[in-house]
C-alpha cells in the first residue's frame, strides 16, 4: 500500500507546484505574487522544523537561527561574488555547518530536550542582538556591509545562471521558490521512507530502545538536525530574494511563529506545516489590513481556538473527519 | 575457556553509596544465569553497568575476553547483546511489525528484515498482532513485543531485567517456559527477585546482597543456603566470608 502511495503523493505535489507556477503569476498582482513567494519561503522553513521536531522529536526553538544565517550568507556571498547563483550553495552550507557544530555539542554532549530548546532559542537571540549591533563601516564582510538594525537592503536577487547582469523577474523567483519547496518535500518524503528516516521516527518514539537496538542515536539526531538547518538556510535565501535580510530574521517573532505553523498544521506530517505556514501568513497579512483591531490579537485567538478544537493540527483533524464521513457513507 | 561476559572487581559508587561492590562474575557461552537479590541489592545498577547505561566507577567488563568497560549502550548491543528492560521499552507510535523490523534493519535489508520479523512474531505466537499499534496492546503483549525485538537479531547474549514484573502467576509460568526455550539458542542473564520464577528457570544463580556477591551456585544449593534465606526473610547479620 505504501509503495503505491508515495508515487501518488509525489505526483500530486508536482502537479500542484507546476499549476501554481503556471497560473499564479497571471492571476496575482506583482505585490501579491511577491507576498506569495514570501509565504512559500515560510513553508520551506515550516517543512524544515517539521522534519526536525515533528519526526526527529527535537524541539528546536531556534530554527530562525538557520533561517537568518541562510539569508545573511546569501546576501553577503551574492554581494561579494557578483553572480548570485554561486551564493546559493553558501546559503545552504553555512547554516548546515553551524547546525552540525551546534548539534554535535548538544547531541554528543547528551543534553536533554528541555535544554536543547533553551540553547537553540538563546543562540538565535544572541545572533539577533549581535547582528543588530553591526552598524558602522567596520562591520562588513568583503564588500558587504552587515548594516546593523537596517540589515542589508541592497540584497541582490538571483540572476540568470552565468549572467550576473540579468536578475530574475519576480515570476521566476516565485517559480524557484515553488520548485525549492517541491524539492524539499520530495527529499523529506524520501528520507522518511529510507532506513534513516524510520530510525529517526523510532528515536522520537523511544530514544533508549533505539539505542538498545544498536543505533547510534546521537549521529541520527545530528543528521536530521543538519538537514533541517540546510532547509531553513534555503528558506532564508528565498526570503532574502523577496524582501531583504535584516536582524528580524533571527527574532523571537520568527522562532515562535515557526513552531506555531507546525503545531497548527499538524505535527508529524509534512503537508500540514506547509499549509499551516501559508494559512497563518495569509491570516496575519489580512489581519494587518484591519484598522480597528490589533492583528496579533486575532492571530492569538485563532491559535488558541485551533489548539482547542484541533489539538493534533489541521491536516490530521481533516483526515479524521474525512475518515468518519467515508465510514458513515459506507454504512448507509 | 574464555567467558562470554565477565566482570572483574566491578564497582559502582554514587557519592558515598556503593551500589555495586567489587563484583566479579563470569557467564559462559550457552549458560542461563540468574542474578538475584532483594530490593537494594544492586541488581539494577549492575544491569545498567553491563548494558552501558552507566559507566562503572572501577573494575572491568569483558566480552569474550575483550575489555568493553565504558562502551555506550548501542556499541554493546552491536556486539550481539539483546537487552530487555524491566518496564517494556517500546516504540508506542509504531506497529508491532515495524518495531521488530527496526530491530533487524541495522543488519538486514528491508525485505529480509520483514520476513525475519514475521518469523520472530510467529515464533513468539503474536503474529496476529503484527499490524497493531504498540500503544494499544495489553501489558503481557507488550512484554512479548519487546522480547520479539530483543531476540529477532539472534543475539549471542540476552540480558533480561525482571522479565516477570507485573505478570500474573500464569504469565510468569509461561515466561519461564519461553526463557528456557530461548536458552537453547542464546546465552541468557536474567536479573530477578522472584524466587518462584528462579526455581522454574535457573541453573546457576548469583545472589547479590548490599552490592556484593553473597553466593554463586546451582539453584538447589542457593535456595537451601541459610544466608540466602536470611537475606530474603529480612535478617541482616549475614556473614561476608563468601563468593563461589
What's the pLDDT at B34? 92
CB-based contact, B170 to chain A, within 8 Å: no
Residues 28-67 of B with CB under 8 A from A: 51
Q: Is residue A332 over pLDDT 50? A: no
What's the pLDDT at A7? 85
Task: Write out pLDDT tens, residues B40-84.
Answer: 888 989 999 999 999 999 999 999 999 999 999 999 999 999 999
CB-based contact, B102 to chain A, within 8 Å: yes
What's the pLDDT at B241? 41
**Which residues in A lie closer than 8 A to residue B78 (C-beta atoms)?**
214
Q: Is residue A5 over pLDDT 60? A: yes
What's the pLDDT at B233? 63
Q: Is residue A305 over pLDDT 90? A: no
The answer to whether the CB atoms of B73 and A195 lie below 8 A apart is no
Chain A closest-CA separation from residue B78 CA (Å):
5
Q: Which residue has the cell 551546534?
A: A102
- Average pLDDT of the residues in A99-117: 94
Concatenated DSSP letters of B41-105: SSHHHHHHHHTTSS--SEEEEEETTEE-TT--HHHHHHHHEEEE-SS----TTSBHHHHHHHHHH
Task: Write out pLDDT tens, residues B146-173.
Answer: 999 999 999 999 999 988 877 778 878 8
Provide the number of CB pairs (under 8 Å) joining chain A to chain B: 60
If one compares A328 and A9, the residue with the highest pLDDT of the two is: A9
Which residue in the set B83, B94, B105 is minimally distant from A212, CB to CB?
Answer: B83
What's the pLDDT at A276? 92
Which residue in the set B51, B91, B98 is minimally distant from A209, CB to CB?
Answer: B91
The residue ranges of every structural domain in chain A are 2-250
- Average pLDDT of the residues in A49-73: 95
Reference A255, options A76, A114, A128, A151; nearest CA is A128
Task: Write out pLDDT tens, residues A126-177.
Answer: 999 999 999 888 999 988 989 889 999 888 999 988 888 889 999 999 999 9
On whether the CB atoms of residues A203 and A221 are closer than 8 A, the answer is: yes
The ipTM, to two decimals, is 0.88
What is the DSSP code (8-state) at residue B167? -
- Average pLDDT of the residues in B168-179: 83
Q: Is residue A93 over pLDDT 90? A: yes
Which residue in the set A195, A204, A206 is minimally distant from B105, CB to CB?
Answer: A195
Strands B187-192 and B157-161: parallel
- Average pLDDT of the residues in A230-254: 93
Q: Is residue B239 over pLDDT 50? A: no
Tell me which of 3.40.50.300, 3.90.1170.50, 3.40.1710.10, 3.40.50.1010 is the CATH number of domain B5-89+157-233. Answer: 3.40.50.300
If one compares B199 and B133, the residue with the highest pLDDT of the two is: B133
Confidence label for B235 from pLDDT (cuts 50, 70 and 90): low
What's the pLDDT at A327? 67
Confidence label for A68 from pLDDT (cuts 50, 70 and 90): very high
Concatenated DSSP letters of A129-180: HHHHT--STT-EETTEE--GGG-BTTPPPPEETTEEEEEPPHHHHHHHHHHH
Q: Is residue A226 over pLDDT 80? A: yes
Q: Is residue B240 over pLDDT 50? A: no
Which residue in the set B93, B98, B102 is minimally distant from A213, CB to CB?
Answer: B102
What's the pLDDT at B244? 36
How does the average pLDDT of chain A come out, rounded? 91
The answer to whether the CB atoms of A205 and B77 lie below 8 A apart is no
If one compares A311 and A235, the residue with the highest pLDDT of the two is: A235
What's the pLDDT at B238? 46
Out of A156-170, A185-199, A306-320, pick the least confident: A306-320
Task: Write out pLDDT tens, residues B207-217.
Answer: 999 899 998 98
What's the pLDDT at B234? 63
Q: Which residue has the cell 547582528?
A: A131
- Average pLDDT of the residues in A221-236: 98
On whether the CB atoms of residues A207 and A217 are closer than 8 A, the answer is: yes
What's the pLDDT at B39? 82
- Average pLDDT of the residues in B15-26: 92
On whether the CB atoms of residues A198 and A190 are closer than 8 A, the answer is: no
What's the pLDDT at A331? 46
- Average pLDDT of the residues in A178-207: 96
What's the pLDDT at A302? 78
Task: Say how far apart CA A228 and CA B23 lie, in whole Å.
Answer: 46
Q: Is residue A91 over pLDDT 50? A: yes
Amino acid at each position: 500500500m505504501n509503495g503505491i502511495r508515495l508515487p501518488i503523493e509525489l505526483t500530486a505535489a508536482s502537479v500542484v507546484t507546476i499549476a501554481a507556477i503556471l497560473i499564479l503569476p497571471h492571476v496575482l498582482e506583482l505585490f501579491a505574487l511577491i507576498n506569495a513567494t514570501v509565504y512559500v519561503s515560510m513553508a520551506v522553513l515550516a517543512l524544515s522544523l517539521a522534519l526536525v521536531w515533528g519526526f526527529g522529536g527535537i524541539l528546536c526553538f531556534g530554527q530562525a537561527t538557520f533561517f537568518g544565517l541562510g539569508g545573511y550568507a546569501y546576501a553577503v556571498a551574492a554581494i561579494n561574488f557578483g553572480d548570485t547563483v554561486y551564493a546559493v550553495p553558501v546559503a545552504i552550507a553555512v547554516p548546515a555547518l553551524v547546525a552540525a557544530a551546534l548539534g554535535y555539542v548538544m547531541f554528543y554532549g547528551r543534553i536533554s530536550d528541555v535544554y536543547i530548546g533553551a540553547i537553540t532559542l538563546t543562540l538565535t537571540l544572541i545572533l539577533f542582538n549581535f547582528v543588530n549591533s553591526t552598524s558602522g563601516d567596520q562591520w562588513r564582510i568583503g564588500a558587504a556591509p552587515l548594516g546593523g538594525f537596517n540589515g542589508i537592503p541592497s540584497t541582490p536577487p538571483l540572476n540568470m545562471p552565468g549572467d550576473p547582469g540579468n536578475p530574475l523577474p519576480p515570476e521566476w523567483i516565485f517559480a524557484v521558490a515553488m520548485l525549492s519547496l517541491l524539492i524539499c518535500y520530495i527529499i523529506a518524503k524520501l528520507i522518511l521512507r529510507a532506513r534513516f528516516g524510520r530510525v529517526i521516527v523510532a528515536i522520537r518514539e523511544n530514544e533508549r530502545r533505539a539505542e538498545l537496538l544498536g543505533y547510534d542515536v546521537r549521529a541520527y539526531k545530528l543528521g536530521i538536525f543538519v538537514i533541517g538547518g540546510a532547509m531553513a538556510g534555503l528558506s532564508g535565501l528565498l526570503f532574502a530574494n523577496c524582501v531583504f535580510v535584516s536582524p528580524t530574521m533571527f527574532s523571537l517573532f520568527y522562532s515562535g511563529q515557526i513552531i506555531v505553523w507546525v503545531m497548527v498544521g499538524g505535527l508529524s506530517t509534512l503537508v500540514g506545516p506547509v499549509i499551516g505556514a501559508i494559512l497563518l501568513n495569509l491570516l496575519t497579512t489580512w489581519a494587518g489590513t484591519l484598522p480597528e483591531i490589533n492583528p496579533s490579537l486575532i492571530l492569538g485567538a485563532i491559535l488558541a481556538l485551533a489548539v482547542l478544537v484541533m489539538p493534533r493540527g489541521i491536516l490530521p483533524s481533516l483526515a479524521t473527519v474525512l475518515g468518519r464521513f467515508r465510514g458513515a457513507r459506507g454504512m448507509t | 575457556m574464555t567467558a562470554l561476559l565477565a566482570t572483574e572487581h566491578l564497582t559502582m559508587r554514587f557519592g558515598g553509596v556503593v551500589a555495586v561492590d567489587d563484583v566479579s562474575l563470569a557467564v559462559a557461552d550457552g549458560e542461563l544465569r540468574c542474578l538475584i537479590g532483594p530490593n537494594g541489592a544492586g541488581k539494577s545498577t549492575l544491569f545498567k553497568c553491563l548494558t552501558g547505561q552507566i559507566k562503572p566507577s572501577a573494575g572491568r567488563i569483558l566480552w569474550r575476553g575483550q575489555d568493553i568497560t565504558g562502551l555506550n549502550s548501542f556499541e554493546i548491543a552491536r556486539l550481539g547483546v539483546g537487552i530487555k528492560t524491566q518496564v517494556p521499552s517500546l516504540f508506542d507510535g509504531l506497529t508491532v511489525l515495524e518495531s521488530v523490523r527496526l530491530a533487524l534493519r541495522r543488519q538486514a535489508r528491508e525485505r529480509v528484515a520483514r520476513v525475519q520479523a514475521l518469523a520472530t512474531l510467529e515464533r513468539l505466537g503474536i503474529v496476529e498482532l503484527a499490524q497493531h499499534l504498540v500503544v494499544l496492546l495489553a501489558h503481557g503483549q507488550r512484554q512479548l513485543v519487546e522480547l520479539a525485538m530483543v531476540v529477532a537479531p539472534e543475539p549471542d547474549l540476552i540480558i533480561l531485567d525482571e522479565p516477570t514484573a507485573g505478570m500474573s502467576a500464569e504469565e510468569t509460568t509461561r515466561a519461564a517456559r519461553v526463557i528456557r526455550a530461548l536458552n537453547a539458542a542464546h546465552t541468557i542473564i536474567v536479573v530477578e527477585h522472584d524466587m518462584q520464577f528462579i526455581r522454574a528457570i535457573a541453573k546457576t544463580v548469583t545472589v547479590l546482597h548490599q552490592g556484593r556477591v553473597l553466593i554463586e551456585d546451582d539453584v538447589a544449593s542457593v535456595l537451601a543456603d541459610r544466608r540466602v534465606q536470611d537475606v530474603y526473610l529480612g535478617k541482616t547479620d549475614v556473614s561476608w566470608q563468601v563468593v563461589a
